[in-house]
Amino acid sequence: MIKLILIGANGKMGQAIATAVKNNANEFSIVAGVSSSDVKFDFPTYKSIEEIIEKADAVIDFTRPKAIYSVLPYCKEKKIPYIIGTTGFSEEDKRFIDTYANSVPIFISGNMSLGVNLQLQLVKSAAATLGVGFEPEIVEKHHHLKVDAPSGTALMLADAISSKYPEGKKYTYGRYTKTERRKQSELGIHSVRGGTIVGEHEVYFIGTDEILEINHKAYSKQVFALGGLRAAKFMVSMQAGLYSMQDIVLENEVLSNLYVTDEQALIEISNLNDTKNGICHVFLALSNASVFVDMISQAGLGRVSLTVRNKQLYEALNALSSLKNTHKDMKIVEYDDITKLTVEGVGMEMRHGIAAQVFEVLNHAGIEPLIVTTSETKIAVGIISEFVPIAVNAIAENLDL
């Protein structure tokens, strides 16, 4: 049973969370709340969090930014996590949150809907895959009482999309009074207000003769309340630090694939005496010989390791030997029975320590990587081929692949 302190118990989101807790009474309970009104609840309420005497596992808050100034010191003292569903933080507020992240587990999200946060991941993937050939536009719809436009969620979606373009995107908020064609650098954001719409976010990737839509609709505040409870459940075992809904979305997808590329050869080149241009000379020579290079790792000035297809090793060595007139001290060591083992997962972008886990597993299995390359979502290691079955089994068993 997870025991919660509810900030803003009398607010609309506070009431939604209280309802969600009642519907999930086997997992959650509210042991105390903070309320500005005298309304009676099924749990004791106080005017400030400092007055609370009940013990709790986490604090959940969907109120105002200023609440952090009393709740964070309380959470630090009680050693419990803080789940924040509030938006509108100033830069000063964000700095205050950052100062406590080293001592308090803090979960913060501008939108607690699990569906919206999955939408964020999907639009990032779409932007990366579709590229500049498709033009992104966002339409967000909310009730007539909402005072800000565009919504915080629309901006989160825009930032997620923009992050996948080398030069980002320039946000265009509506096109009233504009008398020019749409620029490729634009990302249009449009707001609709009316009635009782809880929240709708439509993302369009518009190409030639086709459109991809990635949409999300919320029909009640229970969506956000349930997301808040999911966050509380996620956070009760976490160490100090900043977390978000993306950590939950990617919780089971940190690592998703493990695959091998056989028949590789590794070439280690050292003592390039012209360190300024030496590595350039290496790759020009290989390119001129039509050798395909896969993994590349630079281990300092005048040194570089790379892999090529095993069947092209002879051509690669011949091409490199032509450099010895320029680089008289150059040394070349080759291994002709290498396999590239790749661990991949979109969640690696959001979770630290994955590389450490991979290398720890290989170390315990007695396997030393000969070359390593990484990206935000991949770790690739080159190892002697005879050790591949051991490495694959060890990684699959220890990292749930």
CB 399 within 8 A of CB 348: no
CA distances 43 to 16, 85, 325, 331, Å, are 15, 21, 83, 75
CB 96 within 8 A of CB 107: no
Q: Count Cα atoms within 13 angstroms, Cβ side, for 197.
A: 17
**In this structure, what token pair is assigned to residue 58?**
């986490």
Closest to 262 measured CA to CA, from 356, 154, 158, 388? 388
CA–CA separation, 125 vs 147, rounded Å? Answer: 31
Rg of the chain on CA atoms, in Å: 27
142 is catalytic: yes
79 is catalytic: no
Burial 204-240 (b: 16+ CB within 10 A, else e): bbbeeeeebebebebeebebbbbbbbbbbbbbeeeee
**In this structure, what token pair is assigned to residue 9?**
């118990």
CA–CA separation, 84 vs 7, rounded Å? Answer: 10
∠94-100-106 over CA atoms, to 5°?
A: 80
CA–CA separation, 381 vs 371, rounded Å? Answer: 6
Q: Which candidate in 124, 141, 142, 164 is catalytic?
A: 142
> What residues contact 223, with CB distance under 8 A and at least 6 apart?
112, 113, 115, 198
Q: Which candidate in 146, 190, 217, 281 is catalytic?
A: 146
212 three-class SS? strand
Q: What is the DSSP letter of 182?
A: P
Q: What is the DSSP letter of 36?
A: S
Catalytic site positions: 142, 146
